[in-house]
Chains A and B, each alone.
Chain A
Amino acid sequence: MSSNLSKPTPRTDARIATALLLVFLVMTGMAYGYPPVTRSFPLLVGAAGILLSAVECVRLWRRVRLAPHVAGESQRDRLVMFGWVAAALGAMSVFGLVTGGALFAGVFLKVRERESWFFSLLGATGVVVVLHVILERVFGVTLYSGLLWAGLW
């Protein structure tokens, strides 16, 4: 599954390295505000991170300058799919793990996978059975019931 990805552009690679350099800079800068013992290890790791990512940035941006400009492959499919991930997180935080999970599974199967109504409803029911019946009823795990439920009551 992991081996069939096409090669990303060097620019994307360099942007990631730059973003990580910024993360290290911000986190190391924030560490200075903590007491000496609390900050000592974050400073050590942060310094290493800054050094390594700075070297990587120089290396990768130099490669970008030397490489001919290559148009990146469209990421639309991945962005749309990541939207579905966000939808799962949103649905389960608003409607709770059971209702949100079932809703997400049903809609995903029907809309994205274009499954039949029967199969989509079966998928949603499967989620309810596993989460509500097995986890909540049998195992006695209390599952998060959602922001909507908390707001209503």
Chain B
Amino acid sequence: MADSSALSSLLHLITAPSLLGPMVVAVPFGLLFGAVPGIGGRFGLVLAIPFMFGMDPTAGAVFLVSMHSVVHTGGSLPSILLGIPGGGPDAATVVDGYPMAQKGEAGRAIGASLMSSAVGGVIGAVALAVALPIVWPLVLSFGPSETFLLAVLGITFMAVVSGLDLLKGLILGCLGLMLSFVGVDPQQSVPRYTFNQLFLFDGIGVMAAIPAIFAIPEMVELAVSRSSVARKVIGESTIGFRQMAVGAGDVFTHWWLTVRASLIGVFIGLVPGLGGEVAAWVSYGHAVQTSPTPERFGKGAVEGVIAPDSANNSKEGGALLPTLFFGIPGSASMVFLLGALAALGLQPGPQLVITHLDLVWTLVWALVLANILGSVMLAALGRWMSLLVHVNGGRIVPFVLVSIVTGAVIATGSIGNLGVLFVLGALGTLLKRCRWPRAPFAIGLVLGSVTERAYHQAWALWGGTFLLRPGAIVLLLLIAASLVFYVLKPVQADTAD
């Protein structure tokens, strides 16, 4: 069943203009969002949301996944040319990419980066495809008790890995769940926390709440920093096609490193909340440790570009697995993707895989094709796209804000949600300022209704003993293990935000 579904999804993707078209449009936008420091994948998703409405859910999902999967491919451009990472996960590319550009090897570095991004992205998608039949029986065995505990596990996971303080993460997870109760109770059709405001009867719009809590604070910080992201210029003559071909060849010369780094990325992507920075830096560290000449790193070693870029793109495939299969976002960007998919009428989780397996396969193929297409496009357009890195951060802010408001109003169909944007935007700004992890809040809000339904179903079927079912016990052990991990781990920086 899986084989025929996989093949038919590929055929459908490459033959249907309604799917291929959005992918071809999404890829340059993803590259662009990655290339302009300060935008990145999350804001790319926010900016794309207004254009999703009226789209077929599959086409919309293909657009979002294709766009998001190539963000780091674009992000390598400012990292190499200017030493300014397009986003956090691109920072590791700077260490050797920028020295290569200074040595006059910018083209080689970009070629290596593009090829390793493409290969890493394909390996990530293959890993997702291989995982599908393995995870399938697990997904089928999921009942309401497991679904309920999965959401609890997701919030706990995010709280554990997202920063210095577990309690803060758990509190915000609970707050997200509480706010998900706003609206008409699906069990008995009783309005809860609506204060007689009609727009609240439909609940707090996810596409108003998530940009408010994540994107508005980032825009405030970007505007306050008044940063001109790029003032340095690298000569265009160093980005030649011949040099790029040499760099692309380097990836195959170091093929075993590429594969290892990609697998590290997949694994890190699988663990909810670890994020792109971890994947890139762990791969970079692995490249240094396993090199016979580690002293070359930091001075322009091509392996220092290959390893983080392979991992950056492969981790997207890994991160899609918990996001699509279990509704637990693999990274902060995946929280946005989760919300955007929900806005398209697709609720990620076991039900999505059971009822829309063809969609999952379509997204796997979109991941493969978008990564290849992204590298080809950037190779062709890189010289011109490098000009984008000179955009001042403040110039981006009004357009992102207009896009956030437009997306929220269209998605929720109510102007009342502008109040939600304002209140949660203020809360998000305060939380960011005080380094409270915001990802658990988003998970609580997105998964709240599913969790409550699963809780009621589990209680109706098994009463209080639903926690003693085999699957539930496994999940309870995982929750306990993640808490033990938190207690034992060394203090780490905020990663999930």
Q: Which of A's residues lie within 8 Å of B, judged by CB?
A: 1-5, 8, 12-13, 16-17, 20, 23-24, 27, 30-31, 34-35, 37-38, 40-42, 44-46, 48-49, 52-53, 55-56, 59, 75, 77-78, 81-82, 84-86, 88-89, 92-93, 97, 101, 104-105, 108-109, 112-113, 115, 123, 126-127, 131, 134-135, 139-141, 143-144, 147
Closest 3 CB pairs of A and B: A49-B174, A101-B402, A105-B398
Q: How far is the CA of A49 from the CA of B176 in the complex (A)?
A: 10
B395 at the interface (CB under 8 A from A): yes
Q: Cβ of A20 and Cβ of B171 under 8 Å apart?
A: yes
B432 at the interface (CB under 8 A from A): yes
Known: A24-B178, A141-B410. 16 other contacts (CB 8 A): A2-B88, A2-B218, A2-B432, A12-B433, A20-B172, A24-B174, A24-B175, A41-B451, A41-B455, A45-B174, A46-B174, A46-B178, A78-B433, A85-B219, A135-B406, A139-B54
* Residues of A contacting B478 in the complex (Cβ-Cβ under 8 angstroms): none
Taking the nearest CB of chain B, how far is it from the CB of A88, in angstroms?
A: 5
Q: Cβ of B177 and Cβ of A88 under 8 Å apart?
A: no
Given contacts A2-B218, A139-B54, contact A108 B397 (CB under 8 A): yes
Q: Cβ of B171 and Cβ of A52 under 8 Å apart?
A: yes
Q: Choose from B178, B434, B493 the contact partner of A49 (Cβ within 8 Å).
A: B178
Q: Choose from A8, A38, A82, A127 the contact partner of B190 (Cβ within 8 Å).
A: A38
* Residues of B contacting A16 in the complex (Cβ-Cβ under 8 angstroms): 430-431, 434, 436
Taking the nearest CB of chain B, how far is it from the CB of A143, in angstroms?
A: 7
Taking the nearest CB of chain B, how far is it from the CB of A104, in angstroms?
A: 6
Q: Which of B's residues lie within 8 Å of A, judged by CB?
A: 38, 50-51, 53-54, 88, 167-168, 170-172, 174-175, 177-178, 181, 185, 187-188, 190, 192-193, 216, 218-225, 392, 394-395, 397-399, 401-402, 405-406, 409-410, 415, 418, 421-422, 425-426, 429-436, 451-452, 455-456, 493-494, 497
- Chain A CB within 10 Å, residue with most, of B167, B174, B224: B174
Given contacts A123-B398, A144-B415, contact A53 B171 (CB under 8 A): yes
Q: How far is the CA of A49 from the CA of B224 in the complex (A)?
A: 33
Q: Choose from B53, B399, B432, B455 the contact partner of A5 (Cβ within 8 Å).
A: B432
* Residues of B contacting A84 in the complex (Cβ-Cβ under 8 angstroms): 223, 401
* Residues of A contacting B434 in the complex (Cβ-Cβ under 8 angstroms): 8, 12-13, 16
* Residues of B contacting A144 in the complex (Cβ-Cβ under 8 angstroms): 409, 415
Q: How far is the CA of A82 from the CA of B177 in the complex (A)?
A: 26
* Residues of A contacting B219 in the complex (Cβ-Cβ under 8 angstroms): 85
Taking the nearest CB of chain A, how far is it from the CB of B238, in angstroms?
A: 28
* Residues of B contacting A127 in the complex (Cβ-Cβ under 8 angstroms): 398-399, 402
Q: Cβ of B402 and Cβ of A85 under 8 Å apart?
A: no
Q: Cβ of A113 and Cβ of B392 under 8 Å apart?
A: yes
Q: Cβ of B405 and Cβ of A101 under 8 Å apart?
A: yes
* Residues of B contacting A38 in the complex (Cβ-Cβ under 8 angstroms): 185, 187-188, 190, 192
- Chain A CB within 10 Å, residue with most, of B53, B172, B223, B395: B223
Q: How far is the CA of A27 from the CA of B179 in the complex (A)?
A: 9
* Residues of B contacting A78 in the complex (Cβ-Cβ under 8 angstroms): 220, 224, 429, 433
Taking the nearest CB of chain B, how far is it from the CB of A147, in angstroms?
A: 8
* Residues of A contacting B177 in the complex (Cβ-Cβ under 8 angstroms): 45
Q: How far is the CA of A1 from the CA of B395 in the complex (A)?
A: 16
Between A and B, 5 residue pairs with Cβ closer than 8 Å are A16-B434, A37-B188, A49-B174, A52-B167, A141-B54
* Residues of A contacting B399 in the complex (Cβ-Cβ under 8 angstroms): 105, 123, 126-127
Number of A-B contacts (CB under 8 A): 180
Q: Cβ of B402 and Cβ of A109 under 8 Å apart?
A: no
- Chain A CB within 10 Å, residue with most, of B53, B181, B392, B435: B181
Q: How far is the CA of A149 from the CA of B220 in the complex (A)?
A: 30
* Residues of A contacting B224 in the complex (Cβ-Cβ under 8 angstroms): 77-78, 81
Q: Choose from A5, A85, A139 the contact partner of B216 (Cβ within 8 Å).
A: A85
Q: Choose from A48, A56, A104 the contact partner of B398 (Cβ within 8 Å).
A: A104
Given contacts A8-B434, A82-B429, A123-B399, contact A41 B88 (CB under 8 A): no
Given contacts A8-B435, A17-B171, A104-B401, contact A27 B178 (CB under 8 A): yes
Taking the nearest CB of chain A, how far is it from the CB of B235, in angstroms?
A: 27
Q: Cβ of B51 and Cβ of A135 under 8 Å apart?
A: yes
Q: Cβ of A97 and Cβ of B405 under 8 Å apart?
A: yes
* Residues of A contacting B220 in the complex (Cβ-Cβ under 8 angstroms): 78, 81-82, 85
Chain B residue at minimal CB-CB distance from A14: B434
Q: Choose from A4, A45, A123, A131 the contact partner of B178 (Cβ within 8 Å).
A: A45
